[in-house]
């Protein structure tokens, strides 16, 4: 009698362990696991010889942790011309972030409210080519600019991004640059 109950306990334990193991192995990162505003750097960008904007955003493998999150942001500036057009946004971080972003050019993915919103290039140093995608570059150790080429303007000026930042308590400032 004792042997039968031990066998049933053993079988039940194996079944439970198998279910947990299989569900853990097949589980992908759920969108709800992402933060409100996360920037991910893609260091292994050599795997795609073409530009990042030619790669479907869902196919880009994100690292486990973002390089910057909503909690790192002090102020988000939107630099506008006299016409109201904005090609550049500025992120003022609470602390120096250059060390976190690093000194190598690579790709990035912006995730806003759990949704992969856009991808582009992180330029640790200026390059002699005109960007073909949205770029993030360092202005100072704690101020980074997001710049869009002409076709990328609508991407960075997505009202959903701005509204989420405002709703999250980030100080969003519109700055007129005085240019036409």
Q: How many domains does the chain have?
A: 1
| Residue 96 domain-assigned (yes or no) | yes
Looking at residues 92-106, what average pLDDT do you find? 93
- In 10 A of CB 155, how many CB atoms? 19
Range of the domain at 141: 35-176
Question: Could you tell me the two tokens for 134?
Answer: 């949205």
136: exposed, middle or buried (Cβ count in 10 Å: 0-12, 13-18, 19+):
buried
List, for residues 37-80, the tens digit of each pLDDT value. 999 999 876 655 457 777 899 988 999 999 999 999 999 999 99
| Residue 94 domain-assigned (yes or no) | yes
- Strand locations in 124-162 (E): 134-138, 143-147
| Residue 29 domain-assigned (yes or no) | no
Q: Of 111, 110, 112, 108, whose CA–CA distance to 123 is shortest?
A: 108
| Residue 16 domain-assigned (yes or no) | no
């Amino acid at each position: 009698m004792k042997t039968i109950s031990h066998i049933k306990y053993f079988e039940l334990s194996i079944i439970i362990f198998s279910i947990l193991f299989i569900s853990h192995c097949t589980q992908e990162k759920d969108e709800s696991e992402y933060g409100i505003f996360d920037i991910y750097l893609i260091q292994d960008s050599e795997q795609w010889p073409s530009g990042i904007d030619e790669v479907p955003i869902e196919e880009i493998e994100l690292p486990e942790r973002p390089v910057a999150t909503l909690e790192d942001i002090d102020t988000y500036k939107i630099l506008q011309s006299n016409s109201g057009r904005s090609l550049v946004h500025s992120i003022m971080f609470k602390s120096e972030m250059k060390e976190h972003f690093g000194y190598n050019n690579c790709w990035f993915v912006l995730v806003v409210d759990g949704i992969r919103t856009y991808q582009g290039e992180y330029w640790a140093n200026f390059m002699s080519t005109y960007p073909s995608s949205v770029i993030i570059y360092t202005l100072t150790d704690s101020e980074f600019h997001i710049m869009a080429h002409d076709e990328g303007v609508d991407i960075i000026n997505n009202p959903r991004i701005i509204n989420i930042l405002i709703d999250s308590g980030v100080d969003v400032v519109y700055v007129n640059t005085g240019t036409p």
